[in-house]
Structure 1
C-alpha cells in the first residue's frame, strides 16, 4: 500500500519520519545512501573479519538495534562495531543484544598475548547520544571512546560475567581518550578490567554507574600522544567486589597533567586490593620504583568515598611526587594491609593504610 510522505492535521501537514530495516551489511550500506532518518538494525550477523560500520550515516539519523547482533570468529584487532558521526541518536530496542561470544577468544591473557582479540565498539561521535544498549561477552575492550565531543552514553549494560570462569581479561568497560564533554551515566558493568579508564580528555563525567568485579574506576594518564586529563567528575557510583575502588595512576617518567578530578559520593563494597589508590609510578606490568613528578596531580577532591575493603587489602594508598591543592573526605573500613603514603600535599591529613 502506498503511503503519503506527509501526515496532515487540521491546521498543517508535516513530513513523516521514514525508516528502513537492515538485516545484513549490504543493506546497511544502501541505507547510508538513502534518505531514511531511522535505521532499524535487525538480527544482523557480521561475517568474520568485517565491521558493522556506521561511519558516513547522515547527521540527524536515529539508529535502533532490534534483535541479536553476532559476529564471525577471526583473530584480529577489530573493531567489531564503529559508531562514528555527528548528531546521531543510537538506541537499543526492546530485547536486543550485542553478543560478542568472547569465550571464543578468551585465553586468560587479554590483549597482552595469546589470541589476537578484537575491540568491540569504536566510538567517534559529536553532538550525539547512545542509550539503552546491552552488550554481552566482549572479546576484549568494550567501548573505545576516541576524539568525541559533546556526547552522552546512558543506561548501558555490559555483561562479561562469563569471563570470570572462561578466561576473560582486558574486558574494559569504557576507555576514554582525546575526548571532551562526555557523560557516561546510569550503566552497569560486569567485567575483568577497568570499569572506566580515562586516558586523556576534558569535562568527562562518570556518574550513577555500578561496577561489579573487574578493576574499578581509573584515571590513567601517560604513555599516549595526549597526556592531559582535566575537569573529571566521578560521582554517585558503586564499586562492588572490584579489585580497586577508584585509582589515579600516572606513568612512571611520563609527561602531562591531571587537574581538576572530583571523586564524590562513591560506595565501595568488598573491594579486594585498595579502596583509593593514587600513584605516580605506574607501568602496564605493575608499579615500579619511586614515583616521578612529570605528570602533576592538581586540584583533586575526594568527598564522601565510603565502604569497605577486605582484610588482605589496603584502604588508601598514595605514592606521588607532584601533588597540589587536594581536598579529602573518606570513610573506608576493613583493609588490614598497611602501606605508607608519600607525596601528600602539605597540611592535608589522609587516613592512609
Structure 2
C-alpha cells in the first residue's frame, strides 16, 4: 500500500513545476507539466516573458510573487501569451510590476520607446486575477483572441498620474471574437478599453475605470474590417476626461454596428460625458466628419452621472450615414455646449 501511494505522489508532483528564473522556463514548457508556476522572476532587459512558444494546450500558468523586468528602450511586450485551452491565473499577493516610472517621460508614444506590457492571443481560454502594476505603455493587448474570458484583472497605474505616465491604455482589443472582460479594475492615463477593428461579440461588463480617458470604440483605424455586436454593460467610469465614446477616424473606412452601452455610471467626468464622433484625427475631434465608417444600431441606455461644470454632457459630430440609434441618458452638470450634429432623424439626444 505504501509503494502505491508513493507512485501516485510522484506522478502528481511531476505534473507541476515552479519556475524561478527565465532559463528554467523553456524546459518547463517542454515537459509534461500541467501547472507551471512563475514565481519571483526577474526578466532580463529587452526580453519577453515568453508564454507563446511551446506552451501546450491544457496548461495552467500561475503568476506568483513579484515578476519584474530589466530596463531597455524597446517596444516589448514584457509578457507574451499565446495558445489554446490555457488557464492563466494570478495567485493571491502576486504582482506583474512594470516599474513604468523608468520609462515615463510625460510624452507617451511621442517620447522615448516604451514597452507594451502583456500581449495575449488565446483561444478557448481563461485569464483570471492578474495584477499589472505601473505599465510603461499599454496594459493588455488582446489580439486575435477567440472564446476567451478575462476576469478580475487589475491594471494599477495610479502612480503614473504624478510621475509622467501617458498612453497607458488598460485593455486594447482587436481582431477578436467572443471575448469577455468582466469584474476588472483599471486606473490609468488613457482609454480604459480601446476596442478597434475586426471585432465581433465583445463583452465588457461590470468593470471600473478610473483616472483615464474612458471607454472607447474606435472604427476605421487602419484595418477597414467592421466592429460588430459590442456589449458594454454595468460599468463605472470615475474621474476620467471622457465617459464613453464611439469614434471613427476622419477619412477612415469600415463599419461600427451593434454597439450597446447599458447601465453605465459616470462620475466626475472632466471633459465630455458621452461623445460620438466621426472626425477623430491626431488625438481628438478635428475638422469635418466623413462618411465611410458609419455608426449603425447604436444603443445608449441608462447612461447616467455627472460632468464637471466646465465640461460637456453630450457631444455628437458625425456625418450623414449614421442610422438606427436608440438613446436614453441622464448626464448632467456640464455647462459647455459643443457640436450636436449627425444623429439619425427621430432620435432625441439631450445635447
How would you bin the TM-score normalised by the shorter chain?
Answer: over 0.9
2:328 is aligned to 329
Partner of residue 127, structure 2: 130
Kept in 2: contact 1:216–1:244 (CA 8 A): yes
Residue 330 of structure 2 corresponds to residue 343 of structure 1: no
Q: 1:183 aligns with which of 180, 185, 191?
A: 180
Separation in structure 2 between the aligned mates of residue 160 and residue 4 of structure 1, nearest angstrom:
47
Is the contact made by 2:224 and 2:252 (CA closer than 8 Å) also made in structure 1? no
Measured in 2, the distance between the counterparts of 1:300 and 1:48 equals 45
Give the corresponding residue for 1:11. Answer: none
> Which residue of 2 is the match for residue 252 of structure 1?
250
> Could you tell me how far apart the structure 2 residues matched to 1:302 and 1:184 are?
20
Spell out the pairing of 1:196-275 with structure 2 (5 A cutoff). Answer: 196-200=193-197, 201-275=199-273
**Retained in 1: the 8 A contact 2:34–2:58?**
yes
Q: Which residue of 2 aligns with 1:64?
A: 62
SS at match of 2:325: strand
In structure 1, the partner of 2:292 is 294
User: Would you identify which runs of 4 or more consecutive aligned residues in structure 1 move more than 3 Å?
Assistant: 1-7, 14-17
CA distance in 2, matches of 1:47, 1:17: 28
Q: Give the length in aligned residue pairs.
A: 345
- Equivalent residue in structure 1 for 2:16, among 7, 14, 19: 19
Q: Secondary structure at the match of 1:32?
A: helix
Could you tell me how far apart the structure 1 residues matched to 2:332 and 2:93 are?
A: 40
**2:170 is aligned with 1:173:** yes
Aligned equivalents of 1:264 and 1:326: distance in 2?
A: 13
Q: After superposition, what is the alpha-carbon deviation per residue over 1:251-296, rounded to whole angstroms, capped at 9, x for unaligned?
A: 0011000000010000000000111000000013322111111000
C-alpha distance in 2 between matches for 1:51 and 1:20: 20
- Partner of 1:181, secondary structure, is strand
Equivalent residues in 2 for 1:19-58 (5 A)? 19-55=16-52, 56-58=54-56
Counterpart residue number, 2:87:
89
- CA separation of 1:268/1:17 partners in 2, compared to 1, >3 Å: closer, same or farther? farther
- Quickly say closer, same or farther: Cα 1:4–1:324, change in 2 above 3 A: farther
* Cα pair 1:188 1:209 within 8 Å, conserved: yes
Are the counterparts in 1 of residues 239 and 269 from structure 2 also a CA contact under 8 Å? yes
Distance 1:288 1:41, change over 3 A: same
Return the alpha-carbon distance in structure 1 between the equivalents of residues 282 and 215 of structure 2.
16
Secondary structure at the counterpart of residue 323 of structure 2: strand
* Contact 1:178-1:226 within 8 A present in 2 as well: no
Q: Aligned partners of 2:279 and 2:339: how far apart in 1? A: 15
SS at match of 1:28: helix
Which residue matches 2:279?
Answer: 281
Post-superposition Cα deviations, 1:124-149, rounded to whole Å, max 9, x if no partner, equal 00000100011110000011110110
Q: Structure 2: any 5+ residue segments left out of the alignment?
A: none
Supply the distance in 1 between the matched residues of 2:103 and 2:170 (Cα, whole angstroms).
17
Structure 1: gaps (5+ residues): 8-13
2:191 maps to 194
Higher helix fraction (1 or 2): 2
Q: Deviations over 1:66-86 (max 9, x none)?
A: 100000000000000001111
Question: CA offsets per residue over residues 32-61 of structure 1, 9 Å max, x none?
Answer: 110010001010000000010101210000
Aligned partners of 1:173 and 1:194 also within 8 Å: yes
